[in-house]
Amino acid sequence: MIHINIAALAKLRGIRHPHRHLIKAGISDKVAREYLRGKKDRLVVQHIEILCELFNCSPNELFVWQPDNKAKDTPQHPLQVIRVQPLPDTIQALQQIPVAEVKKLMENLQQQKQP
């Protein structure tokens, strides 16, 4: 089954209060809660653009796939691209890297941002 991946994207982006960010971006309180709980079974087209801008992602990254049964779980299935993957705790991972390595990582990120 395909699920909305908003809470995981917020965590990955280091957004501590995703509900506030969604409301500030123009999504209603009720819908924001449903998105974050993964309880919403559809996305409004306008929300796809808002969410992609908010999380700096592509539309396919808004979703994750968990196969319902083994018959659907084949390595060649196109949905493998959005299959549920464990999400690392980004902050905790960075805290375990030596400071010099974090500085190098930040330099690499800055170079990638430059045209």
Which residue ranges make up each domain of the chain?
2-85
Nearest 5°: the CA angle 87, 91, 11 is 45
Residue 68: strand, helix, or coil:
coil
CA dist., res. 62 & res. 96, Å (int): 28
Note the pLDDT of residue 54: 94
Cα-to-chain-centroid distance, residue 57: 8
**Prediction pTM value:** 0.67
Note the pLDDT of residue 36: 93
Q: Which residues, in sequence order, are bridge partners of residue 78?
A: none
CA-nearest of 49, 47, 58, 45 to 9 is 58
Q: Which residues of the chain have pLDDT under 70?
A: 70-72, 86-88, 90-91, 115
State the fold for domain 2-85: 434 Repressor (Amino-terminal Domain) (1.10.260)
Note the pLDDT of residue 70: 67
CA dist., res. 14 & res. 8, Å (int): 10
